[in-house]
């Protein structure tokens, strides 16, 4: 499935960094901007945007690799890069919650034999706080003891 991207960026007519209309092609098929003097590859840009499209569709890295004909490791690294950037953005723009709040914890880690819930072995504990008619805040915590939760930021 092709990704619809503005032609002015993909054909190298407009810089992806500063938005100036002064990029030019080099002999090695990369593009360099006269204004900000940054280099980039149009082929790499197309691949990155295609990967981002499949990331937004929530396809697995394995399926995306098969669809685009790229290696799994490349797709996985890009997915991790996108997740880190999203996490960093959310941390930078964090605001305190207010009003009525609902708090709950959940355990992630697939099905395993043995105990379920709080006593489960090898599961990741995630604490969630919901602001009624507002935002949701989640954080991975080591355990759900009161002392631990009160120390979390």
Write out pLDDT tens, residues 5-18: 566 666 668 888 88
As a whole number of angstroms, the distance between CA 39 and CA 23 comes to 9
* Tens digits of residue pLDDT in 22-66: 888 899 989 898 999 998 888 888 899 899 999 999 899 999 999
pLDDT digits (tens, 9 = 90+) for 100-142: 899 888 887 767 677 776 666 778 888 888 988 888 888 888 8
pTM beyond 0.75: no
DSSP reduced 3-state for 47: helix
Strands (DSSP E) found in the chain: 23-25, 30-33, 39-41, 101-108, 124-131, 136-141
Q: Output Rg (C-alpha) for the chain, integer angstroms.
A: 22
Q: Is 110 left (phi over 0), alpha (psi -120 to 50) or beta?
A: left
Q: Could you state, in order of their start, the residue ranges of all structural domains in the chain?
A: 7-92, 101-151
């Amino acid at each position: 499935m092709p990704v619809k991207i503005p032609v002015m960026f993909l054909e190298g007519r407009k810089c992806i960094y500063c938005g100036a209309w002064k990029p030019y092609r080099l002999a090695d098929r990369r593009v360099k901007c006269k204004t900000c003097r940054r280099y980039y590859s149009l082929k790499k840009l197309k691949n990155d945007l295609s990967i981002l499209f499949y990331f937004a569709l929530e396809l697995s890295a394995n399926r995306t690799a098969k669809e685009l004909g790229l290696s799994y490791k490349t797709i996985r690294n890009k997915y991790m890069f996108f997740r880190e950037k999203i996490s960093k953005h959310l941390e930078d723009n964090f605001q305190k919650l207010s009003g009525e709040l609902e708090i709950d914890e959940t355990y992630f880690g697939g099905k395993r034999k043995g105990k379920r819930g709080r006593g489960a072995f090898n599961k990741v504990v995630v604490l969630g706080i919901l602001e009624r008619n507002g935002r949701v805040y989640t954080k991975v915590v080591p355990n759900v003891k009161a002392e631990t939760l009160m120390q979390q930021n």
